[in-house]
Amino acid sequence: MRDSRHTSSSTNSFNHSPWQLNQMDVWEALFEDAPVKTLRKNTVVFHQGDPLQSIYFVRRGRVRSSVFDEDGQEMTILIFSEGSIFGEVSAIEQSPYQVTTTTNTACTLAYLPVAVFLEKVEQSPSLTRQLNRSLTQKIIRLASHIKDIALLNSDERVVAYLLKLADTFGVETELGLKIAIPFTHQEMADLIATSRVTVSKVMSLLDKEGILQRIEGYLYIKDKEALLQWCASQGR
């Protein structure tokens, strides 16, 4: 029997979504005159271990950061949407890129050489504070993500991910709590270390029970309390 403390602690920390928040208003001015790359879906931006060259800003689309084990098995750890930056952790450490980052959709990425990015940030107290805040948020999100992978079963992880997205991107509507960001079952599966089939199965069960509904490409949580109870029941 699963320790009830695991489920309880996880359901109380659903605000730490591994999906990075849109920070367009913070970083856009810094990258305003930066060169741009337009990339197709599933294009590798850089590989884990590649020499550090640039810091990237997502103008359009979504990218994922992943790590690979010795057998080549991929685990997605963060997803970056429009307005996010990535590569800055390696810049602070002055180390090769520590993850592989790949486009999840067609993307437009602005980029700056590492030295230029760091110089501009160092000259701006507000950007320095924002960079520190961004790094702290990533640490918190990664810690929460690792905890979920370690302590929750696959069905619980699907629900935990939904609740994290709802707390981060949820908008109250007459139809329920709308998760106002599109995502695919495969993206969810990659993040929570399970299969797309498992994600689809759980989504279908929640839909049949009237807890969840997809309308015009967006998910609506009809009853958040019922979703929490359903999640708790999976750990018994």
Residues 232 and 152 sit within 8 Å (Cβ to Cβ): no
pLDDT at 11 over 90: no
Please give the average per-residue pLDDT across 46-59, as a whole number: 95
**What is the C-alpha to C-alpha distance for residues 216 and 218, in angstroms, rounded to an integer?**
6
Q: Are residues 178 and 220 in the same domain?
A: yes
- 1 assigned to some structural domain: no
Q: What is the DSSP letter of 31?
A: T
Q: Are residues 45 and 138 in the same domain?
A: yes
Q: What is the DSSP letter of 50?
A: P
Which of 205, 192, 104 is CA-nearest to residue 148?
192
pLDDT value at residue 125: 92
Range scoring the smallest mean pLDDT among 59-63, 126-130, 164-168, 191-195: 164-168
φ, ψ for residue 93, nearest 5 deg:
-80, -15
Q: Give whole-number Cα distances, 171 to 165, 167, 213, in Å.
A: 11, 9, 14
- 5 assigned to some structural domain: no
Q: Which domain holds residue 95?
A: 19-146
- Higher pLDDT residue, 194 or 232? 194
pLDDT value at residue 177: 93
Q: Are residues 68 and 180 in the same domain?
A: no
Domain count across the chain: 2
Residues 45 and 103 sit within 8 Å (Cβ to Cβ): yes
Q: What is the pTM assigned to this prediction?
A: 0.77
- 30 assigned to some structural domain: yes
Which tens digit of pLDDT belongs to each residue from 149-158? 888 899 989 9
- 10 assigned to some structural domain: no
